[in-house]
């Protein structure tokens, strides 16, 4: 298993493959909302798109930055302020 969470420098370099918006590490509340959707019970974390409309899962320590793997989110979401 890889190191988790990803380093701040890695996260700063990543962009949404669909919109090219910056990504941030999702906070615990957002991860709970994603898990509540029922599709991602074994999620290590998620990278949240700047507009909050999509999150990309982190599985086994690896960010999955595929458009087809994006998780659609509704309503306001927050990013981890520690990153």
Give tens-digit pLDDT for 19-70. Answer: 999 999 999 998 888 888 876 667 889 999 999 999 999 988 889 999 999 9
24 occurs within a structural domain: yes
- Structure confidence at residue 42 (pLDDT): 77
Mean pLDDT within 1-24: 84
> Which residue range is the domain that position 28 belongs to?
8-72
The single residue listed with the structure tokens 């990153």 is 83
- Structure confidence at residue 48 (pLDDT): 95
Number of structural domains, the chain? 1
pLDDT score of 81 more than 60: no
35 occurs within a structural domain: yes
Q: Residue 20 contacts by C-beta under 8 Å, 6 or more apart in sequence?
A: none
81 occurs within a structural domain: no
Q: What is the pTM of this model?
A: 0.79
CATH number for 38: 2.20.25
């Amino acid at each position: 298993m890889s190191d988790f969470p990803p380093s701040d420098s890695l996260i700063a370099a990543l962009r949404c493959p669909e919109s090219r918006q910056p990504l941030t590490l999702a906070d615990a509340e957002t991860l709970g909302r994603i898990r509540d959707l029922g599709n991602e019970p074994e999620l290590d974390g998620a990278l949240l798109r700047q507009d909050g409309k999509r999150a990309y899962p982190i599985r086994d320590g690896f960010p999955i930055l595929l458009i087809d793997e994006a998780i659609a989110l509704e309503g306001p979401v927050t990013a981890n302020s520690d990153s």
